[in-house]
Structure 1
Amino acid sequence: MTAPSTNNRKTPTEAGPTLDLERYVPAFITFIANKLSNSATAFYQREFGVNVTEWRIMSLLAIEPGIPASRICHVIGFDKGPVSRTLASLDKRGLVAIRSDPNDGRTHSISLTAKGRATHDKVIVAAFARERRLLSCLSKDEREVLIDLLRRLHENLGAVTGGDT
C-alpha cells in the first residue's frame, strides 16, 4: 500500500485566476489565425511559390492597385519592416512593380505585375476553396452572422489597441 500523496502544488483557484481557453475570445482568434496562417503558408508555398504574407499583400494589391506600403501596413496590420522585406522579395521575383510617386518622391506606388496577377488568380481559387472548407460546418445564415460579428470586432479593435485599426 502506498502512502497518501503529499503534493504541495496549489490548485488553479489557489494560484490565482487562469484563462478558460474554451471561452477566452482573444485566444480563440489567435489560435485560429495562427493555424490558418501556418497551413496556408505551407500549402501556398508548395503549390504556388508564395507564403501567406506575400499572398496577403498580393491580394490587397489586386483590390487596390498602386497603393503605398503604408496603406498595406494599415490594412493587414503588419509593421513596416516585414512589409518592406516582403515587397522587396516580390519585386525581385517579378510579382510586383514598385514605382516612385511622381507627386511625392518618398512614397511608392505598388502594383502587381502581369506575372503577379497570374499568380494571384491561381492562389485566390485555392484561398476560396480553403474558406469554403473552413466554413462548411456553418449554415449560410451562421456564416453571415459570423462575418458581421468579425467585422464588428475588427471595427472595435481601437478599444484595446488605443488607436485606429
Structure 2
Amino acid sequence: MSQTESRGGSTSPEADESDPPAPITVMLSSRLMVLANLLKRGAILRYKRLTGLSSVEFGLVASLGRRPPMSVARLAEAVGQDKGQISRALANLLSRKLIAKSANPKDSREVLVSLTAAGLAAHDAIVEGAQERNQRLLAHLSEAEFEMLFQHVDRLTAIAAEMLEIEKNTR
C-alpha cells in the first residue's frame, strides 16, 4: 500500500490498484446498495431542481400521487418513515400550498392529506423525471435482458424480505 501526503503534511494510506478489494465490496448486496445510493442521490438532486422539494417531501408527494386522501399514519407507513419526520415535512408542504388537510368524515379525529393542484403539478414533474431516469438507466439493455433483470430483482427482493422477517424474529 502506498502513502500520500495530506495538506497537513502527514501521510495517509492510499489504495494501491494491486490491493484486493475489501471482501464486502464485492458482494452483490454491497453493489446493489451502491447502485441504490447513486440512484437516490441523483433523484434527490433532480427533484430538488425540478420541484424545490426535499427528499422526504418528494417522497410524500410521490406517495400521495393521484390517489384518494390518506391519513398521516398510512402515509408514514407508505414511505417508511416515522410520523414526526412526516409531520414536519407535511407542515412545509402545507405552507407551500402543495397539500390540503381535512378531517376524515368517518372519524373526525383522523386527518386526511391530499395534493392540491400545485401538488399534483409537482407530482407529475416527479413522475416525468422518474420515467426519464428509468429509460436512461435501462436504455442499454435488450428486452430479454430487461425481463431477466426484473425477474432476478423480484426473486432477490422476495428472499431479502424473508431474511428481514427472520432477523426481526431472531432475538
The TM-score, its normalising length taken from structure 1, stands at: 0.74
Instruction: Tell me what 2:33 maps to.
Output: 30
Instruction: Tell me what 2:49 maps to.
Output: 46
Cα distance, 1:66 vs structure 2: 0.7
Distance 1:44 1:103 in 2: 35
Structure 1: unaligned runs, 5 residues or longer: 1-17
Instruction: Tell me what 2:108 maps to.
Output: 105
Instruction: Tell me what 2:130 maps to.
Output: 127
Distance 1:106 1:148 in 2: 43
Instruction: Tell me what 1:82 maps to.
Output: 85
Q: Does 1:92 align with 2:114?
A: no
RMSD value, Cα: 2.3
**Is residue 40–residue 51 contact of structure 1 (8 Å, CA) maintained in 2?**
no
From the superposition, tell whether residues 129 and 89 of structure 1 become closer, same or farther in structure 2 (CA, over 3 Å). Answer: same
| 1:105 partner SS | strand
**Is residue 97–residue 119 contact of structure 2 (8 Å, CA) maintained in 1?**
yes
Structure 2: unaligned runs, 5 residues or longer: 1-21
Distance 1:29 1:80 in 2: 28
- Structure with the largest fraction of strand: 2
Deviations 1:70-117 (A, max 9, x none): 222222222222222211111111111121212223322111101111
Per mean C-alpha deviation after superposition, the further-off stretch among 124-133 and 41-50 is: 41-50
Number of aligned residue pairs: 145
Instruction: Tell me what 1:70 maps to.
Output: 73
Q: Percent identity?
A: 32
The TM-score, its normalising length taken from structure 2, stands at: 0.71
**Is residue 97–residue 111 contact of structure 1 (8 Å, CA) maintained in 2?**
yes
Distance 1:140 1:117 in 2: 32
Question: What amino acid sits opposite 1:159 in the alignment?
Answer: M
Cα distance, 1:21 vs structure 2: 1.4
Question: What amino acid sits opposite 2:93 in the alignment?
Answer: L
